[in-house]
């Protein structure tokens, strides 16, 4: 129950983060077109991220209420991997889009946003395919897959942070928030790999609530940065 509560808090913080990012993306709040576009990318992506979390945790709540063997629990375990992967694929889309924004000579036109929304839809479809291929959630296999995808995400995010730093296409508060997220992903690689061995008494593994706790702390740091902006 502690883990479940922390997950809901993370989802609510993500909603607040996305909402503030979209408010900053308004012309009155951010005159610079590149800065505004970066905030819009982040706001849109984290809105979808938050929706994914809200769906998963609502579904998970019904599963917990139904108990093991219930239809809710069976369906939740079947599709929880897809929902987990969806947020990784969304983060990959965001990092790539920010790099494209950084190297563009002119602010993004309407086609850029159409392509990005299509990429988000493709990322969600890919997460469904990845979840279908993986099957029902099994800790020993799922968390390893999450760690592998998080490793790929970390490489792309670190590259994006470097490009954004040298091109100055995002303001310092957004860059700091993205860097905080990168730190969260780096921790996730280690902790997800450790969680895959949670059933092995001879290997250290964090408790799920500890993973949720550090993610909540870093999500609050990101929210504080966007609120300060």
Residues in CB range of 49: below 8 A, 6 or more apart: 14, 18, 87, 90, 91
How far is 78 from 73, CA to CA, in rounded Å? 8
Supply the pLDDT for residue 113: 95
* pLDDT tens per residue across span 158-215: 999 999 999 999 999 999 999 999 999 999 998 888 887 777 777 777 888 898 999 9
Supply the pLDDT for residue 8: 95
How far is 194 from 72, CA to CA, in rounded Å? 28
Supply the pLDDT for residue 221: 97
Supply the pLDDT for residue 224: 97
Angle formed at CA 27 by CA 221 and CA 117, multiple of 5 degrees: 70
Q: Which sequence spans correspond to the domains of the chain?
A: 2-228
How far is 49 from 44, CA to CA, in rounded Å? 9
pLDDT grade for 138, boundaries at 50, 70 and 90: confident
Residues 15-19 have a mean pLDDT of 98
Residues 219-223 have a mean pLDDT of 97
- What pTM was computed for the model? 0.92
Supply the pLDDT for residue 191: 86
pLDDT grade for 111, boundaries at 50, 70 and 90: very high
| CATH no. of 2-228 | 1.20.1070.10
Supply the pLDDT for residue 229: 82
Alpha helical stretches, state H, the chain: 2-24, 33-66, 71-103, 110-134, 139-167, 172-195, 208-228
* pLDDT tens per residue across span 34-47: 999 999 999 999 99
Supply the pLDDT for residue 89: 97
Cα 228 to Cα 150, 172, 223, distances in angstroms: 28, 11, 8
């Amino acid at each position: 129950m502690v883990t479940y509560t922390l997950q809901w808090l993370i989802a609510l913080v993500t909603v607040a983060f996305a909402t503030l990012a979209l408010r900053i993306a308004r012309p009155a709040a951010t005159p610079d077109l590149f800065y505004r576009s970066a905030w819009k990318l982040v706001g849109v992506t984290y809105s979808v991220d938050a929706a994914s979390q809200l769906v998963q945790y609502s579904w998970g709540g019904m599963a917990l209420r139904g108990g093991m063997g219930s239809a809710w629990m069976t369906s939740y375990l079947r599709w929880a991997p897809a929902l987990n992967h969806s947020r990784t694929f969304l983060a990959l889309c965001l990092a790539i889009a920010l790099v494209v924004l950084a190297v563009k000579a002119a602010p993004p036109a309407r086609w850029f946003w159409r392509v990005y929304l299509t990429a988000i839809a493709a990322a969600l479809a890919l997460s469904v395919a990845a979840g279908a291929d993986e099957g029902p959630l099994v800790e020993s296999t799922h968390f390893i897959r999450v760690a592998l995808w998080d490793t790929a995400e970390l490489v792309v995010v670190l590259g994006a942070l470097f490009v954004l730093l040298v091109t100055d296409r995002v303001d310092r508060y957004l860059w700091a928030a993205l860097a905080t997220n990168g730190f969260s992903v780096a921790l996730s690689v280690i902790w997800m790999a450790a969680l895959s061995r949670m059933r092995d008494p001879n290997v250290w593994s964090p408790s799920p609530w500890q993973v949720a706790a550090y993610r909540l702390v870093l999500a609050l740091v990101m929210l504080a940065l966007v609120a300060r902006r």
